[in-house]
Amino acid sequence: MSTTNQTTLRVVSTHVGDVGEVRRLIAGMTGCDGWVQYASACVVHRSGVGVDRAAAGVPLAAEFVRGSTSVALRQDGDGWLWTEMTEDHGDIRCRVRDTSFVSTAEHTTSLRYREFWRRSAQQTPAAPWEPWIARFVGWSTTGKEKSS
Q: For the chain, first and last CA: distance in Å?
A: 11
Task: Let me know: does 88 contact 8? Beta carbons within 8 Å.
Answer: yes
CB atoms inside a 10 Å sphere around CB 40: 9
Structure confidence by residue, pLDDT tens digits, 109-144? 899 999 999 887 767 778 888 899 999 999 987 644
CB atoms inside a 10 Å sphere around CB 145: 11
Q: Which pLDDT value is given to residue 93?
A: 81
Structure confidence by residue, pLDDT tens digits, 13-72? 999 999 999 999 999 998 899 999 998 888 888 886 655 555 668 999 999 999 999 999
Which secondary structure element, helix H or strand E, spans residue 71, and what is its range?
strand 69-76
Q: Which pLDDT value is given to residue 118?
A: 87
Q: Which pLDDT value is given to residue 60?
A: 94
DSSP output for 97-131: EEEEEE-SSSTT-EEEEEEEEEE-TT-STTPPEEE
Q: Taking 60 as the threshold, does the pLDDT of residue 106 lie above it?
A: yes
Higher pLDDT pick, 63 / 1: 63
Q: Which pLDDT value is given to residue 114?
A: 94
Question: What's the pTM?
Answer: 0.82
Q: Which pLDDT value is given to residue 53?
A: 57
Residues 6+ apart with CB under 8 A from 101: 110, 111, 113, 145
Q: Which pLDDT value is given to residue 145?
A: 46
Higher pLDDT pick, 1 / 50: 50
Q: How far is CA 1 from the centre of its chain?
A: 22
